[in-house]
Chains A and B, each alone.
Chain A
Amino acid sequence: MRDDDISCNRRQFGGLLMGAGVCLLGAAALGTSAHAALEVQITRGRVRAMPVAVPDFIGADADAQQLGRAVADIIRADLQRSGLFRIIDPAAYIERIAAFDQPPNFGSWRVIKAQALIVGQVAVLPGGQVQAAFRLWDIFAQQQILGLRFTTSRHEWRRLGHKVADAVYKAVTGDEGYFDTRIVFIDESGPKKQRVKRLAIMDQDGANLRYLSDGRSLVLTPRFSPAAQRITYLSYATGTPRIYIFDLASGQRQLLGEFPNMSFAPRFSPDGGRLVFSLLEGGATNLFVMDLASRQIARLTQGDAISTAPSYSPDGRFIVFESDREGSQQLYVMPAGGGAARRISFGRGRYSTPVWSPRGDVIAFTKMRKGRFSIGVMRPDGSGERILTEGYHNEGPTWAPNGRVLMFFRSSRGPNGGAKLYTVDLTGYNERLVPTPNFASDPAWSPLLK
């Protein structure tokens, strides 16, 4: 579960030789030429998904072969879910990949209309580590676009598939991937009147779910630190709703402060050094920031309105938040140190839960209008509003680290209704359910793991 297990193990190898690999921490070096060769076409927001063939990864023995199938399954699922790739059914493949170090029979892949082919092999190393190497082939240009190798401990084997999918995604789209990531969220069980809410964490595809709290106290709104090592969230453990910081490596939880009134809606600054949050003051709710090293607190807003759900711009210079200072919930942007706030939402309806994209280009939000709850995006100056999904109740968007996909929760109606997690990409067309065992809400997407 340590993030640095796959660190200096990814190796780039040129040509077909597996020889002395160069330690490479970003796969960008080969990305440029690849981008020119393989490209997902997007016309008027509609994606023409790239047909890709991903045969099972080969292995030297039965154990490795089984692992190779499972790793290929993960790659296929990740790429397919992105909406940018279309995985060609393995049953249609003509060539059976037998050797990793030989070029494929391009003609046989062209026949089944594959534009790209991912060939790979896995190995179980002495000492228990597992390794996956792959080559991404451009079928029409008949050339290798990318070749990388990843190594990790056996219990983290799924990450091999996510790492390969991320590398392929980046080679083809030019954007960082988002598959080797985790989701922290609130697992909901029990009847609606007495919902048990537990802090939970899982891989982006729903695998490896783990509970971080026992359900005895109500917990809400978890958010990752920028290094994905810590989670800040709201808990009713002491009776008064308060903010905690949970350390994933040590399992320690720490109270942010003994505020006499409710403190809530926490979020880390992009450098991880500060926490911005809401503090109740009588009937008012204002925004404050705490420097986590010195524990110094500074006020960011004042007045008797509700100001909450703050989120930093990726450069840390601004904070977007919601406030009802002008009567109904609207979005405002202010300097990170406080000061004059500028309203950015002017459409009809109420706007809430703004989150700044990691790319900085847009802000996602929940919009409420005529009893419908939608998820949308607008530029930080308020222009270019677009609704990505609309319905009875969609709430609480969180960004994939590449700023191309949002996760949110959608509640169904009625006495037995509950929330489930969904993803939608910026085109608004590719919407997917994220598998969770129970009802689930308040998702937060981690940065790309290292």
Chain B
Amino acid sequence: MWRNMALAALALTLAACSNTDKPQLDNNANAGLASAGQGAGGGAAVPGSERDFIVNVGDRVHFLVDQWSLTPQAQDTLRKQAAWLKRYPSVTVRIEGHADERGTREYNLALSARRANAVKRFLVAQGIAANRIATIAYGKERPVALCDAERCWSQNRRAVTVITGGARS
């Protein structure tokens, strides 16, 4: 009951925010571009490459406060990830779970592990072999957005699918 109340309150703040600050919950394309900075830079991505995955599929999903269930947007992204992983069966990945900084250290480790696990289970249910998917939990240790506001914390509550092998270059 507690959790539902928190959820409702959060949904309101998110709705309010999204007027001013466009991509709120599932901004995988933008976030992907941001994190693909080390990629080839400009030009079309090689199909089956890491950049292809990040730019054209989306490498991350986001979560509500203290939640690990997959939002509809997250599920869309993960279906696309699964399709891409089926097309490139030699690719292996690691799901990196993260939490925002508004929690305590140990719990955030466990929560981010739960998020990574939720993503892994979804991909496995989509037909990706479990042995292609590793997971790791980072808790609040690796933020990507830095500010003391929900618009940053919502980006940090994420699970990122990182390619660990088998991609084209």
Q: Is the CB of A327 within 8 A of B3?
A: yes
A239 CA to B143 CA, complexed, in Å: 18
A280 CA to B104 CA, complexed, in Å: 17
Nearest-CB residue, chain B, relative to A395: B104
CB proximity of A184 to chain B, nearest CB, Å: 15
Report if A195 contacts B (CB, 8 A).
yes
Residues of chain A with a CB closer than 8 A to B68's CB: 283
Report if A366 contacts B (CB, 8 A).
yes
Q: Is the CB of B148 within 8 A of A396?
A: no
Q: Which of A106-114, A138-146, A250-258, A412-420 contacts B (4 or more CB under 8 A)?
A: A412-420
A residues contacting the other copy or chain, number (CB 8 A): 44
Q: Is the CB of A415 within 8 A of B104?
A: no
Q: Out of B1, B107, B136, B147, name the residue touching A306 (CB < 8 Å).
A: B107
Report if A240 contacts B (CB, 8 A).
yes
Nearest-CB residue, chain B, relative to A280: B113
Report if A155 contacts B (CB, 8 A).
no
Q: Is the CB of A285 within 8 A of B113?
A: yes
Report if B102 contacts A (CB, 8 A).
yes
Q: Is the CB of B2 within 8 A of A396?
A: no
Whether A283 contacts B136 in the complex (CB less than 8 A), given A262-B113, A353-B104, comes out as no
Nearest-CB residue, chain A, relative to B3: A327
A378 CA to B106 CA, complexed, in Å: 21
Q: Is the CB of A322 within 8 A of B137?
A: no
Q: Is the CB of A328 within 8 A of B102?
A: no
Across the A-B interface, the 9 shortest Cβ-Cβ residue pairs = A415-B146, A413-B148, A285-B110, A352-B104, A283-B117, A306-B110, A283-B114, A265-B106, A308-B106
Known: A278-B106, A395-B105. 13 other contacts (CB 8 A): A241-B109, A241-B136, A241-B137, A264-B109, A283-B114, A283-B121, A306-B110, A306-B114, A327-B3, A329-B107, A352-B103, A353-B106, A371-B102
Give me 25 A-to-B residue pairs in the complex whose CB atoms sit less than 8 angstroms apart, sorted by A's number: A221-B105, A221-B106, A239-B136, A241-B136, A261-B113, A264-B106, A283-B114, A283-B118, A285-B113, A306-B114, A308-B106, A308-B107, A327-B3, A352-B103, A352-B104, A353-B104, A371-B102, A392-B148, A393-B101, A395-B105, A396-B105, A413-B148, A414-B146, A415-B147, A441-B105
